[in-house]
């Protein structure tokens, strides 16, 4: 009765009271710019015509007439109501999730695609939106085939059997007609659904009156599975598509006057109306004496004709109207998804052009052409389940979007309809369960297609024009991990370098960042810092722009690092402040890395920083790099082990981390040591071999007995002249000896290849390997 009252009210409003039409928002005129640059008045629709009508007519569709009797005849009344409640619960939850998202944003063209893309990101939106468009296009062909087949009952028997091509011909004619009507005017197509709704409502009224006037009996309660021996879940899977289609109105989002208001009201009202009808129909079918259980289980829509007053006229009129309305819904929403995909760069731009009346005409013609070409397939039953499953993935993602938005709790997420995250998650799991229930293979194929599309769109590096929930997800995960890490006791077993790389010009010192990345192994944190000496009130510097330039350089060289620009009175003060402040929770920096300066004064400053920073257990690396990225087959890493400064374990660990990189995987690690006597030599060889065995690092050991009148510098230069990388320890000199030590480092490294000087100040010094 609610539906009948609604119909009467709408007819009055639409056709007899223009003033009420404006007040209720059924259609208003909004300005749009067409492809000729002209401003046109495009119709905008309200809740009833724009959302409720297409949604409820897609719900009350073909399956209600063909399969409801079959369900009741096999399951009995009680289990049929259970099926209806489970199915409607999933769609109602999905409707709530969609409504929550819709009330949090101004939903534009594209409906479900728009909401997912603006919630979970353009890539995932495209991965769902492209299959969604194709499904809606194929749905036009499905519904046209269904209508064509049912119309053949009017074929006169005296003409003989209908030609085999007649179904395809009728389907093609139906597609052409509805495409022309929809392309001409969405307003006309939507208004045509009002008499269709009247026909559906009259067929339901005829059923209810027929039951009440033709006698009643006690309903059959126990399931019999007369014509469905496969069981309860098989019947549920056959019935479930009957409750889908409630998103047809969401697909009209770009044509709505107030989507944030109309989508939740129209969608939820359509779902509830469908649920009310679906609870009433099995009750009336089960208590009528006009047909028995066997007839219901075997004769489909014909059973309705035996019950309804007026016979088949009202039944077939309602059924044909429901099929036609579903086809209209698909031909209206499909092109708008394509229009949105075009606007976001996922389809050719010309497909988003509008006609003078604000219709996506080109997208509509293309959609109609694709639907028409699908007629040539002859029978689409083979792919029908794949289409249904792809639609269900949409429900999974809509619920997942709402759940994630609620869990992340972004301050911008303020829907007027608040749905608990676990409710949306239940809807997502329920839709996923039904996907597997319908066809496990189709489910896997659908997921595979969408994953491939997602990966492809990720590789295209699409430029988005809005924020989405992913940043909030990453932030929540990072916060969760940091809180856990904060409680975790740091141990030498878990130590890895978190490095601050100090650079004056990241373009020229990219090799420094490369080495930091090698040590990092995509697990630690690399921060690339530039210090600008001076004061903010004296400098004209755009810190954000400088940081963005550094990021751009790293990206072009395929390097990873968090770039930042800092202003400080001088280099030493800035480096010390940055080193102390950098990091959070258990992710504090533990290693400072410097490049080789052009002036000795800068090297002395780096040694001063090393001396100070060692007191707070931070390591220092001073690197003199020469062609470090040169490609060679037999690379060698030389490590000079002294043992006096406790640097050896960090040096060996860094050599091991370097060799874990693809370009260095075949490099030899050679541990050198210099002794003064043969007895020392034997003891040192034994000690190094034990170290290599205990650390399980593939390395060689070489202990050199220093000849008389030969300096350590000469021995190292001769031994490591051909090494690709030399790693040596650093001592902390007295302040008055800083300049002399800097001179020695400059002279020492002059004739070698790449050299990294290491100062191990870690709390785990001596136990890192």
High-pLDDT (> 90) share of the chain, %: 36
Separation CA 332–CA 339 (nearest Å): 11
Cα separations in angstroms, 673 against 299, 349, 680, 687? 93, 68, 10, 11
Q: Name which of 85-94, 97-106, 188-197, 467-476 the model is least confident about.
A: 467-476
CB 668 within 8 A of CB 637: yes
Mean pLDDT of 305-318: 87
Higher-pLDDT residue of 351, 382 = 351
Q: Are 658 and 629 contacting, i.e. CB atoms less than 8 angstroms apart? A: no
Q: What is the mean pLDDT of residues 373-398?
A: 79
The answer to whether residues 373 and 51 touch, using CB atoms and an 8 Å cutoff, is no
Distance CA 489, CA 475 (A): 23
Give the pLDDT score at 587: 80
Residue 25: band (very low, low, confident or very high) from pLDDT cuts 50, 70, 90: very low
CB-based contact 526:562 (threshold 8 Å) = yes
Strand pairing class (754-759; 668-675) = unpaired
Residues 119, 464 contacting (CB under 8 angstroms):
no
Q: Name the DSSP letter for residue 22.
A: H
Residue 245: what are its φ and ψ, rounded to 5°? 95, 0
Q: Which pLDDT score is estimated for 67?
A: 84
**pLDDT at site 215:** 87
Look at residue 74 in the predicted model and tell me its pLDDT.
Answer: 93
In whole angstroms, how large is the CA radius of gyration of the chain?
37
Q: How far apart are CA 107 and CA 750, in angstroms?
A: 65
Q: What's the pLDDT tens digit per position in 125-138?
A: 888 888 889 888 98
pLDDT of residue 379: 64
Cα angle 95-98-103, degrees, rounded to a multiple of 5? 120
Check residue 471 and report its DSSP letter.
H
Give yes or no for residue 24 having a pLDDT over 50.
Answer: no
For residue 489, give Cα distances in angstroms to 268, 291, 479, 616.
51, 74, 17, 18
Q: Is the pLDDT of residue 693 over 90?
A: no
Mean pLDDT of the chain: 85
Quickly state the pLDDT bin for 9 (edges 50, 70, 90): very low
288 CB-near residues (< 8 Å, 6+ apart) = 210, 211, 214, 215, 216, 217, 307
Rounded to whole angstroms, the Cα distance separating 143 from 324 reads: 7
CB 498 within 8 A of CB 524: yes
Closest CA to 125 of 593, 509, 470: 470
Work out whether strand 668-675 and strand 700-705 pair parallel, antiparallel, or are unpaired: parallel
Look at 104-118, 184-198, 403-417, 476-490 and tell me which has the smallest mean pLDDT.
476-490
Phi/psi at 533 (5° precision): -80, 130
pLDDT of residue 756: 94
Give the mean pLDDT of 451-475.
72
Confidence of residue 765 (pLDDT cuts 50, 70, 90): low
pLDDT at 26: 43
Q: Nearest-5° angle of CA 669, CA 675, CA 677?
A: 140
Dump pLDDT digits (tens) for 551-609: 999 999 999 999 999 999 999 999 999 999 888 776 889 999 999 998 999 999 999 99
pLDDT on residue 6 = 36
> Given this model, what pLDDT does residue 510 score?
93
DSSP 272-287: HHHHHHHHHHHHHHHH
Task: Quickly tell me which residue has 């045509």 as its tokens.
Answer: 192
Report how many helices (DSSP H) and strands (DSSP E) the chain contains, helices first.
28, 12
Assess whether pLDDT exceeds 70 at residue 380: no
Mean pLDDT (whole number) for 756-767: 80
Residue 669 and residue 659 in contact, taking contact as beta carbons nearer than 8 Å: yes
- Give the residue-averaged pLDDT of 734-742: 91
What is the per-residue DSSP string for 195-230?
A: HHHHHHHHHHHHHHHHHHHS-B-PPP-S---SS-TT
Percent of the chain with pLDDT over 70: 91
Dihedrals phi, psi of 639, to nearest 5 degrees: -125, 120
Instruction: Find the mean pLDDT for residues 500-514.
Output: 93
Which pLDDT does position 198 carry in this prediction? Answer: 92
Written as six digits, the tokens of 191 are 């208004």
Who has greater pLDDT, 274 or 439? Answer: 274
Residue 248: predicted pLDDT: 85
> Is 90 exceeded by the pLDDT of residue 513?
yes
DSSP run (H or E) holding 704: strand 700-705
DSSP 423-455: HHHHHHHHHHHHHHHH-HHHHHHHHHHHHHHHH
Q: Give φ, ψ of 43 to 5 degrees.
A: -70, 140
pLDDT of residue 7: 37
In sequence order, what DSSP letters do the residues of 297-312 get, joined into one string?
Answer: HHHTHHHHHHHSTTTH
Cα distance between residue 107 and residue 267, in whole Å: 14
Compare 550 and 695 and report the one with higher pLDDT: 550
Q: Are 72 and 224 in contact (CB under 8 A)?
A: no
CB 256 within 8 A of CB 44: yes
Residue 574, token pair as written in the block: 């800035």
Q: Which residue has the higher pLDDT, 709 or 575?
A: 575
pLDDT of 15 > 50? The answer is no
Beta-bridge partners for 567: 532
Confidence of residue 21 (pLDDT cuts 50, 70, 90): very low
- 461: pLDDT strictly greater than 80: no
Report pLDDT digits (tens) over 203-213: 999 999 999 99
Q: Name all contacts of 739-742 with Cβ < 8 Å and 24+ positions apart.
A: 739/600, 739/604, 741/607, 742/600, 742/603, 742/604, 742/607
| Cα→Cα distances 719→31, 479, 611, 639, Å | 80, 49, 29, 11
Which residue, 248, 236, 219, is CA-closest to 333?
A: 248
Q: What pLDDT score does 465 carry?
A: 55
Span 143-166, mean pLDDT?
A: 82
């Amino acid at each position: 009765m609610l539906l009948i009252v609604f119909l009467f009210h709408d007819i009055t409003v639409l056709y007899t009271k223009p003033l009420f039409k404006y007040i209720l928002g059924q259609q208003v005129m909004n300005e749009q710019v067409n492809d000729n640059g002209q401003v046109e008045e495009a119709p905008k629709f309200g809740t009833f015509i724009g959302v409720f009508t297409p949604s409820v007519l897609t719900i009350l569709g073909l399956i209600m007439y063909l399969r409801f009797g079959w369900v009741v005849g096999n399951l009995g009344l009680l289990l049929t109501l259970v099926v209806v409640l489970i199915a409607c619960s999933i769609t109602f939850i999905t409707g709530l999730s969609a409504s929550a998202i819709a009330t949090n944003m101004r939903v534009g063209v594209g409906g479900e695609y728009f909401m997912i893309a603006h919630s979970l990101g353009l890539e995932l939106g495209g991965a769902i939106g492209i299959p969604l468009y194709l499904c809606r296009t194929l749905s036009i062909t499905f519904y046209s085939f269904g209508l064509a087949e049912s119309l053949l009952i009017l074929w006169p028997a005296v003409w003989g059997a209908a030609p085999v091509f007649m179904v395809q011909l009728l389907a093609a004619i139906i597609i052409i007609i509805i495409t022309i009507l929809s392309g001409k005017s969405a307003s006309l197509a939507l208004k045509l659904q009002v008499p269709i709704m009247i026909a559906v409502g009259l067929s339901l009224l005829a059923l209810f009156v027929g039951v009440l006037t033709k006698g009643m009996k006690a309903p059959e309660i126990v399931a019999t599975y007369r014509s469905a021996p496969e069981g309860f879940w098989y019947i549920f899977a056959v019935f479930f598509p009957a409750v889908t289609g409630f998103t047809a109105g969401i697909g009209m989002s770009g044509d709505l006057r107030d989507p944030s208001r109309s989508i939740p009201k129209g969608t939820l009202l359509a779902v509830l109306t469908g649920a009310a009808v679906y609870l009433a129909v099995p009750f009336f079918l089960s208590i009528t004496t006009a047909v028995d259980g066997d007839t219901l289980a075997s004769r489909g829509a014909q059973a309705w004709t035996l019950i309804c007053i007026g016979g088949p006229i009202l039944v077939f009129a309602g059924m044909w109207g429901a099929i036609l309305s579903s086809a209209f819904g698909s031909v209206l929403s499909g092109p708008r998804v394509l229009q949105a995909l075009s606007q976001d760069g996922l389809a050719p731009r010309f497909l988003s052009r509008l006609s003078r009346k604000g219709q996506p005409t080109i997208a509509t013609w293309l959609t109609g052409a694709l639907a028409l070409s699908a007629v040539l397939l002859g029978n689409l039953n083979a792919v029908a389940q794949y289409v249904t499953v792809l639609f269900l993935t949409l429900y999974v993602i809509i619920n997942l979007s709402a759940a994630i938005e609620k869990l992340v709790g972004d301050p911008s997420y303020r829907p007027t309809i608040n749905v608990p995250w676990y409710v949306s998650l239940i809807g997502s799991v329920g839709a996923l369960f039904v996907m597997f229930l319908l066809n496990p293979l189709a489910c896997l194929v659908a997921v595979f297609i969408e994953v491939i599309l997602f990966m492809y769109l990720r590789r295209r590096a699409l430029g988005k024009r809005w924020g989405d929930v992913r940043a909030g997800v990453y932030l929540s995960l990072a916060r969760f991990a940091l809180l856990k890490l904060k409680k975790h006791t740091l141990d030498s077993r878990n130590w890895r370098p978190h490095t601050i790389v100090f650079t004056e010009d990241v373009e020229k010192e990219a090799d420094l960042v490369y080495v930091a990345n090698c040590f990092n192994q995509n697990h630690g944190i690399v921060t690339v810092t530039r210090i600008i000496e001076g004061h903010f009130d004296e400098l004209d510097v755009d810190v954000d722009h400088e940081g963005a330039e550094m990021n751009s350089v790293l990206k072009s060289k395929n390097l990873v690092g968090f770039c930042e620009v800092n202003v400080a009175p001088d280099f030493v003060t800035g480096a010390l402040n940055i080193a102390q402040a950098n990091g959070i929770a258990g992710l504090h920096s533990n290693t400072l890395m410097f490049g080789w300066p052009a002036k000795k004064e800068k090297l002395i400053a780096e040694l001063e920083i090393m001396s100070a920073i060692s007191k707070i257990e931070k390591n220092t690396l001073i690197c003199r790099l020469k062609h470090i990225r040169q490609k060679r087959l037999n690379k060698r890493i030389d490590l000079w082990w002294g043992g006096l400064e406790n640097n050896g374990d960090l040096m060996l660990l860094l050599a091991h981390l370097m060799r874990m990189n693809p370009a260095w995987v075949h490099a030899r690690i050679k541990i050198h040591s210099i002794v003064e006597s043969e007895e020392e030599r034997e003891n040192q060889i034994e000690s190094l071999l034990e170290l290599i065995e205990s650390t399980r690092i593939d390395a060689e050991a070489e202990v050199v007995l220093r000849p008389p009148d030969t300096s350590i510098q000469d021995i190292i230069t001769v031994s490591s002249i051909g090494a690709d990388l030399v790693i040596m320890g650093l001592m902390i000199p007295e302040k008055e000896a800083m300049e002399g030590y800097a001179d020695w480092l400059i002279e020492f490294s002059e004739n070698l290849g790449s050299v990294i000087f290491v100062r191990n100040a870690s709390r785990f010094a001596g136990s890192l390997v």
